[in-house]
Amino acid sequence: MDEETRKLKADLLSGEILQMAYASLLLHLRFMENALSRLAFTPMPKGTVWTDGQRYSYSPMHVLLRYKAEQTNPARDYLHSVLHCVFRHMYLHERVEKEAWSLACDMVVEDLIADLSLRATAVAREEEQQRALAPFRDKVRPFTAEKLYRFLLDDPLPEDERLRLGELFRADDHRGWFSDEDNKERQNERDEESPDIPEPNAPPMETEQEWKDVSDAIEEDMNTISREAGDAAAHLRKALRRLNREKRDYAAFLKKFAVRGEVMQLDPAEFDYIYYTYGLSLYGNLPLIEPLEYREDLRIRSFVIAVDTSGSISEELVHAFLQKTFNILKASESFFSRVDIRILQCDMQIQDELRVTSQMDLDAALEKLTLKGFGGTDFRPVFEYIDRQIRSGELQQLKGLLYFTDGCGAYPQRKPDYDTAFVFLENEGNQYEVPPWAIRLTLEPEEILEDV
């Protein structure tokens, strides 16, 4: 058999193998049909496999060798690349340490595939992968590529261990993810060794939104018509929900409760240095104008924090949530010197109230906080309390209410005259239905405990 015939046969067989891999994945993962169908199979002369978000480029010989080693390898490798796209791992908006980022993405994706427990993607190395993942799962929560990447930067692996894990979890080529500068040295080496192997292209940035839409659709499908995905896909469902929900910085979120007021501080934006320096040059030490000693700024003056004490949130998380909130409030740029913050504990009724009037009160309030209640959940008593305080004049210039809870309760029927935000503790399966007038934020337990 001549070289041309062998090449044609390899092209044909590898294409058939990939089509079988695609069909086997589609059979078990109907909720991922759009994602699995999105990449065009594109053969290339040599190399391994890679994707740019539009094509799945593969070396026919590589696919054949992978299939010969284990018949499930091509399906697992393809799903591996598709999940990189679904989680948008290749769309980098800042410079990263490429080895650490690649390893983090590969480890997380392989963990997701293992959790699906599909016969079509079962491979012998999976058991070794799970042993390798165990210590990282204990230390990195939630187990996302971003969190794992930061962990690998903070606690770098020995070189031999990094190489071992890279080999164990790698299924595709990531070189196209990174900038030209990142790849220049590696490409020079590649040109000397194998000049005819094509270099992966960087993923077109316009495809990022397309994959975000695909990711959103998968999550919606898993939550509705594809319930048959069952517990086997619970890990993937949770990872998608974490990925797709609106990301908000909690400190920025608290600015919802800021009010505009004058603070004693020089305002450089309202100060004309030309007239100031001209006066000094003309009259010696006599400026024509003086800088303003105050400026208008957005700062937190008055709001209410309500904590659900129905018993479903641990005392540790309640304290951590309040500590995180207090740490933000104590930042000088977001806090008036005199404030009126009420901390309410409520289950079916208000169980306790603490009042904070200055920064110095914050730590003291946290130290003497003891949870009370442990009944059902009803949000209305807090709103009724606030309304009474406003009518009596006890609570003035109220900007809003922050309600920390993890479950459903009875809401007031009418919109209050102040901003209201429900901060939910992430809970599997809870859709957190809130009135249209309420602001909603969902936090993972790990996000609450982080940096406290």
- For the chain, the structural domain boundaries read 3-244, 250-263+297-449
Q: What is the pLDDT of residue 284?
A: 61
CA distance 47 to 44: 8
Residues 6+ apart with CB under 8 A from 310: 347, 348, 373, 374, 375, 376, 377, 407
What pLDDT score was predicted for residue 377? 84
pLDDT category at 202 given cuts 50, 70, 90 is low
In this prediction, residue 238 carries a pLDDT of 78
Q: Is the dihedral angle over the CA atoms 214, 220, 225, 228 positive or is it negative?
A: positive
Q: Which segment of 83-92, 141-150, 158-167, 421-430 scores lowest on mean pLDDT?
A: 421-430
Position 372 scores a pLDDT of 84
**3-class DSSP assignment, residue 141:** coil
Of 249, 258, 237, 440, residue with least CA distance to 334: 258
Of the candidates 345, 350, 435, the one whose C-alpha atom is nearest the C-alpha of residue 388 is 350
Band the pLDDT of 170: cuts 50, 70, 90.
very high
Average pLDDT for residues 140-145, to the nearest whole number? Answer: 88
Strand, coil or helix: 48: coil
Residue found under tokens 């305002």: 267
Of 47-61, 105-119, 253-267, the range with the lowest mean pLDDT is 253-267
User: Concatenated DSSP letters for 397-436?
Assistant: S--EEEEEESS--BPPSS--SSEEEEEEEP-TT------T
Question: Residue 276: what pLDDT?
Answer: 55
CA torsion angle 26 30 32 33 (round to 10): 60
Band the pLDDT of 236: cuts 50, 70, 90: confident
Confidence of residue 285 (pLDDT cuts 50, 70, 90): low
Q: What is the pLDDT of residues 50-75, one digit of tens each?
A: 999 999 999 999 999 999 999 999 99
Model confidence at 337: pLDDT above 70: no
> Can you give the length of the chain in residues?
452
Domain range 250-263+297-449, CATH class: alpha beta
How far is residue 66 from each of residues 37, 69, 78, 433, measured CA to CA in Å?
21, 5, 12, 47
Task: Give the chain's mean pLDDT.
Answer: 81
Q: How large is the greatest C-alpha to C-alpha distance in the chain, in angstroms?
A: 99
Higher pLDDT, 324 or 200: 324
